[in-house]
Amino acid sequence: MCNPHLAHPAVWALVSLLAISGAGQSTWAPEHLERANALHARAIVLDTHSDVTPKFHNAEWDFSVRHETGHMDIPRMRDAGFDAQFLSIYMGRKPEPGTAIKEAIRRVDAVYEAVRRYPKQLEIAYTAADVFRIKEAGKIACLMGIEGGHIIEDSLAALRMLHRLGCRYMTLTHSFNSVWADSSGTMSDVKGDFDGLSERGHELIAEMNRIGIMVDISHVADATFWDAIQLSKAPVIASHSSVDGVFPHRRNLSDPMLRAVKKNNGVVMINFFSAYIDPDFDGYQKAWDAEHKEALDGMRTKFKANRREFRGARREFMKTHPMKQTPLTVLARHVEHCAKVAGWDHVGMGADWDGVSALPEGIKHCGDTVKLTALLLARGAKEADLEKFLGTNLLRVMADCEKSARELAAGK
Ligand SMILES: [Zn+2]
């Protein structure tokens, strides 16, 4: 039977839009992208993990211009309405004993130097309230997070000084054990030294709570997670971790962990790295390696003395011989699973910009994050929930940690 009301073209447009909205959708309509762009423009957009920091050591490298390579610069952050970014104070390898603090100070200085070079665009934020103020001023808030307890070596004094310099979270480990805690490892397991936190690790959590630096459980062993979340008097974060519910991986969080983060009022910031989120990614890699074995062997022979040059040549080759990419729906499912188990108040974005070698389809850099938001909208997410996901959840946790530190100082 023909309904005369459905004859109007605008009604048909609405019907077709509704037909592609809802759970399970793998793409979005132009209307979703429009809404995503508007949402990114008005909401606080904040990500908790970028490894762009070492580029700031090179004064020749200009953060204020658009680059063809890498994941992050100011123009591409502006494209997606970024208001705040946690810049990682990290070292890609396990440092020689006695060198980590010096290297960390160098990294923190590089962040301050970047802010000095672009004062109209960037400002350092020390509190959650600073982030709102800096957004209002039309600038991007730069925050810092320490990646790995090894960076403070065995010194709580170093932790306090890095906090005074502006660092606002610390992962208890990187991909190897620290004197404070056991790590999960990244691509292979790490044998535990302490079965969780060490005795000193207990002191560390108390001190982190006292001074108001967020306890970050990304990169830690499961036993460390449970010790830390039971001990912490303030909410915890996972600055860049995804969920076992979509792909069980040692870097991801299980459902009981997500429920514990919910109870703790913390937040899980979803990592975008294909190797952590996609059960099929290993297969894509193996197939690509097999297909291009001859070319890869040639590069290995040519650059055998220099792994970095080999990786650069491989990256170049990949531009003309692309590997199959993780569908963006896989990433959307991580966000949705976290929201389903822990709630929309406990999920956020910690992509691992410039720290990972493969991102999902359509996400070439941080400017593409609106596509994830458009897809989540098309799959039925509410704008109010996405606003929390995009930034306010993390700022709530940060403000809670500030408050908890004030209360501990007042002896409450
Ligand atoms: Zn990491």
Domain boundaries, the chain: 26-280+326-409, 287-325
Q: Give mean pLDDT, residues 284-290.
A: 95
CA of 35 relative to ligand 1 center, distance in Å: 31
Quick one: pLDDT at residue 307? 86
Query: What distance in angstroms lies between residue 201's CA and the mean position of ligand 1's atoms?
Result: 19
Rounded to the nearest angstrom, the distance between the alpha carbon of 47 and the centre of ligand 1 is: 13
pLDDT at 8: 55
Task: Quote the percentage of the chain above a pLDDT of 70.
Answer: 95
User: Average of pLDDT values for 362-372?
Assistant: 98
pLDDT for 240-257, tens place per residue? 999 999 999 999 999 999
The first and second tokens of residue 108, run together, are 């923190």
Q: Could you tell me the distance, in angstroms and rounded to a whole number, from the CA of residue 273 to the centre of ligand 1?
A: 10
Range 76-86 average pLDDT = 98
Distance 391 CA to ligand 1 centre (A): 20
CA–centroid distance, 169 to ligand 1, in Å, is 13
pLDDT band at 7 (very low <50, low <70, confident <90, very high): very low
Centre of ligand 1 from the C-alpha of residue 240, in Å:
7
Question: pLDDT tens-digit profile of 150-192?
Answer: 999 999 999 999 999 999 999 999 999 999 999 999 988 899 9
- Neighbouring C-alpha atoms within 13 Å toward the C-beta of 173: 29
CATH of domain 26-280+326-409: 3.20.20.140
Residue 208: its H or E element: helix 199-211
Q: How far is the CA of 21 from the centre of ligand 1 (A)?
A: 34
Give distance in angstroms: CA of 183 to centre of ligand 1. 11
Give residues with Cβ within 8 angstroms of 279, minimum separation 6: 246, 247
| Mean predicted lDDT score pLDDT of the chain | 93
Q: Are 74 and 113 in contact (CB under 8 A)?
A: no
Q: Looking at the predicted structure, is the pLDDT value of residue 44 above 80?
A: yes
8 or 105: which carries more pLDDT confidence? 105
User: How many angstroms is it from 175 CA to the middle of ligand 1?
Assistant: 8
Burial class (CB in 10 A: 0-12, 13-18, 19+), 2: exposed
Report the pLDDT value the prediction gives residue 1, as an integer from 0 to 100.
Answer: 37
Return the biggest CA–CA distance within the chain.
80
pLDDT tens digits for 88-119?
999 877 888 889 999 999 999 999 999 999 99
Q: Say how far apart CA 54 and CA 170 lie, in whole Å.
A: 18
Residue 49 pLDDT:
98
Provide the pLDDT confidence category of residue 75 given band limits of 50, 70 and 90: very high
Across 222-244, average pLDDT? 98
Task: Answer yes or no: is pLDDT of 16 > 70.
Answer: no
pLDDT above 60: residue 11: no
Phi, psi of 144 (to 5 degrees): -130, 145
279 Cα–ligand 1 center, Å = 19
User: How far is C-alpha 405 from the chain's CA centre?
Assistant: 25
How would residue 308 be classed by pLDDT, with cut points 50, 70 and 90? confident
Q: What gap in Å lies between CA 181 and CA 306, rounded to an integer?
A: 33
- How many Å lie between the centroid of ligand 1 and the Cα of residue 411? 35
Determine the distance separating the centroid of ligand 1 and the alpha carbon of 28, expressed in angstroms.
Answer: 30
Cα 349 to averaged position of ligand 1 atoms, centre (Å): 13
Residue 140 carries which DSSP code?
E
| 251 CA → ligand 1 middle, Å | 9
In the predicted model, what is the mean pLDDT of residues 303-309? 86
Distances (CA, A) of 351 to 36, 287, 329: 18, 25, 15
How many C-beta atoms surround the C-beta of residue 222 within 10 A? 17
Q: Beta-strand (E) ranges in 66-213?
A: 84-89, 122-124, 140-147, 167-171
